[in-house]
Structure 1
Amino acid sequence: MKTFHCDKCGQLVFFENVRCENCGSVLGYLPDDMAIHAFEEDGEGTLRSPDLRLAGRGYKKCVNYAHEDVCNWMLEAGEASELCASCQLTRIIPALSSEKNRLYWKRLEAAKRRLLYTLWALHLQPTPKLNDPDAGLAFEFLEAAPGQPVMTGHANGVITINIAEADPSFREKTREDMGEPYRTLLGHFRHESGHFYFDRLLADSDRLGEFRALFGDEREDYAARLKAHYDNGPPADWNERFVSAYASMHPWEDWAETWAHYLHMVDTLDTALACGMMLKPKRAGDPELVIEKQPVRSDDFDDVLNDWFALSYVLNSLNRSVGMPDPYPFTLSTPVIGKLRFVHKVVRSRF
């Protein structure tokens, strides 16, 4: 993700900010511009930005920004919808009968917007399912009830997220119980988007042969593989062929886990590039890092991979210095790198 600045005073701001802490300006994100801007009332109920590139254009806050405090995206003033491009994708929200659920909804929307930023950057902007029932995307944020469990997952263009995943204590306990090295809310969104884009980019395409050679035959019985995975666990050598233990369950899950991992890599590298991050080690042979362009714009995946190895080395080292777990607790085997290279090729074909 690139860095953002207040149009009015130049202060560095973050993707989630709604107010500049330096000058007090209202901030909002324009998805088509992929930038945070400052806005001021024009006296007629319309918001305008001091950015000269947006001169003469009026904007309004998403209704979930203006009234619900769970969004910071904007729309052009003349648009018929009151919901921004992100909120239009959410078709079920948690019951707002408790402040806890409102907080979970806010966290869910924030993670979703991070995913959408990356999808826009990859030229993979989804269409709301309301507008395209066959190929569109929708999100449902559901709460479990006694006798009514909620499974996070994807089916037919609908991504369901159990709102309990927005509770760090629940998520950490689940991570420990399942023996996972890594479990984040954003990671759930990235993984489930992988299932959606399998249908959009690979199913019924001429890439299926290459996919099956790398990931396996997705026509295998999913329910049977799922039962075997939870009954017997992953194969002992899973880390030699898969990015995670769960990826070994079925080719669909292998693709979704690899897709999520790819998004994790390119978004982190993009942030490092935007911040001007470099590694110039004092000892020859230690990891060096000079990122010259966005990873999604590189034809050579090996360049992306080399940058990632260097960056993940320093990220893990910094975390260990302050007594925190590794932010990147993974090892990439040769077969996994081949799968990531395939994802990169699929994404690059969109440019």
Structure 2
Amino acid sequence: MQRFACPCCGARAYFHNLDCLCGTRLCYDPETRAMVADAPVCANRELIRCNWVADPGSAIGLCRSCAMSRVIPDPGIGDNRLLFDRAERAKRWVLANLSNWGWFTNADPGRRPHFLMLSEHVEGRTEQITMGHAAGEITINITEADALIRLQRRRDLGEQYRSMVGHFRHELAHFLFDRLAVAPDFLPAFRDVFGDERQDYAAALARHYAAPRDPGEDFITPYATAHPHEDWAETAAHLMHLVDFTDSFASAGLTMPGMPPDFRPYEETDTDLLLSVGTEVAIAVNDINRALDNDDLYPFVLTPQVRHKLRFAHRWLSRHPGRDA
């Protein structure tokens, strides 16, 4: 994520800031990717501390991100308001990242996703919520915005990593697959790299959960082995992880051996260079985290086959979406 500044005093501002120490009310403009002042604010600013500007196209004054949430949890039940706040915060982060590649901007004529932001906690009972994507609708379980719940499920599932940002990146990757699939040359190239996505999805998931496969050298995570759709979503999500933390590193003014001067990860077209720099950043920050007895920032290995898949995802996701439906 890039660095921001107060438009009035020039002090450092962070992506989620509502106010500057100088007293300026801060708003994030997703179109210019900058902090602005004196702009119309999102109607959810008080409810969930959304600091984005109101979208002129919203009849009820919501921002571009909040307007995508077609169903929201009851904020009056339990911790739903706090969890909704945290989940929407992660969504805004991921949407801002994708805008660097032109997705969901004013110049992008394609479809937008609709989010069902659901909670396991409803009036008088608990419901099971399964995250997923179907026909442009993305279901998100905001209950996992609770770090302890998320950690327990990560351990239960034997995962190396689980976060709300990761959930949004994974599910948005499914949505972006549908956007990209209308390009005549996408699906043949996709099948050469990931396999035939037309195989029975339900049966593939049933086999995966009955006997999970080791990812070996070919897949970024065990879940990626389940089906070509999941291989794509996991690979695309990891590409977003790598580009974003490398961009955050570069935006902080830090450098690495092999990193070009004024390196801009979201503008980089050489995927091998991008992955090489990202790997070095991950190793360095992993070492720092180990010095503090914390988990690794990025506990994954980019094998040659995984890099091949990441190149494919980068080539397609970093294309301007105006070319696609």
Give the structure-2-normalised TM-score. Answer: 0.91
2 CA distance for matches of 1:289 and 1:153? 37
Which residue number in structure 1 is paired with residue 273 of structure 2?
303
1 CA distance for matches of 2:318 and 2:77? 44
1 CA distance for matches of 2:305 and 2:278? 17
The match for 2:81 among 97, 102, 107 is: 102
Is residue 215–residue 251 contact of structure 1 (8 Å, CA) maintained in 2? yes
Structure 2 residue 44 is matched with structure 1 residue 68 = no
1 CA distance for matches of 2:212 and 2:48? 42
Two-structure CA RMSD over aligned residues (Å): 2.1
Q: CA deviation at 1:290?
A: 4.1
Any residues of structure 2 matched to 1:122-271 within 5 Å, and which? Answer: 122-125=101-104, 135-144=111-120, 148-203=127-182, 205-234=184-213, 236=214, 238-271=215-248
- What per-residue deviation string (whole Å, max 9, x for no partner) do you get for residues 119-168 of structure 1? 111111179xxxx9x93311111123657421011111011011211111
* Letter in structure 2 aligned against 1:164: T
2 CA distance for matches of 1:102 and 1:3? 28
1 CA distance for matches of 2:135 and 2:96? 22
* Letter in structure 2 aligned against 1:206: D
2 CA distance for matches of 1:135 and 1:31? 17
Is residue 42–residue 50 contact of structure 2 (8 Å, CA) maintained in 1? yes
Is residue 191–residue 256 contact of structure 1 (8 Å, CA) maintained in 2? yes
Is residue 142–residue 150 contact of structure 1 (8 Å, CA) maintained in 2? yes
Which residue number in structure 2 is paired with residue 16 of structure 1?
16
Which residue number in structure 1 is paired with residue 290 of structure 2?
320
2 CA distance for matches of 1:88 and 1:78? 9
Is residue 319–residue 327 contact of structure 1 (8 Å, CA) maintained in 2? yes
- What per-residue deviation string (whole Å, max 9, x for no partner) do you get for residues 255-305 of structure 1? 0000100111111111112111113xxxxxxx5544533223222111101
* Letter in structure 2 aligned against 1:232: A
Is residue 44–residue 50 contact of structure 2 (8 Å, CA) maintained in 1? yes
2 CA distance for matches of 1:208 and 1:69? 39
Q: CA deviation at 1:80?
A: 4.8
Q: Which deviates more from structure 2 when the two are superposed, residues 203-212 or residues 116-125?
A: 203-212
> How many residues in Structure 1 have an aligned counterpart in Structure 2?
316
- Secondary structure in 1 matching 2:54: strand
Rate the CA distance shift 1:209–1:98 in 2: closer, same or farther, 3 A. same
Q: Which deviates more from structure 2 when the two are superposed, residues 210-219 or residues 96-105?
A: 96-105
Rate the CA distance shift 1:79–1:197 in 2: closer, same or farther, 3 A. closer
Is residue 70–residue 109 contact of structure 1 (8 Å, CA) maintained in 2? no
Rate the CA distance shift 1:155–1:5 in 2: closer, same or farther, 3 A. same
Q: CA deviation at 1:69?
A: 3.6
Rate the CA distance shift 1:186–1:224 in 2: closer, same or farther, 3 A. same
Rate the CA distance shift 1:86–1:77 in 2: closer, same or farther, 3 A. closer
Q: CA deviation at 1:252?
A: 0.1
Which residue number in structure 1 is paired with residue 302 of structure 2?
332
2 CA distance for matches of 1:183 and 1:79? 32
1 CA distance for matches of 2:28 and 2:42? 10
* Letter in structure 1 aligned against 2:241: H
2 CA distance for matches of 1:76 and 1:258? 31
Is residue 291–residue 307 contact of structure 1 (8 Å, CA) maintained in 2? no
Rate the CA distance shift 1:76–1:85 in 2: closer, same or farther, 3 A. closer
2 CA distance for matches of 1:226 and 1:26? 48
Give the structure-1-normalised TM-score. Answer: 0.85
2 CA distance for matches of 1:270 and 1:13? 17
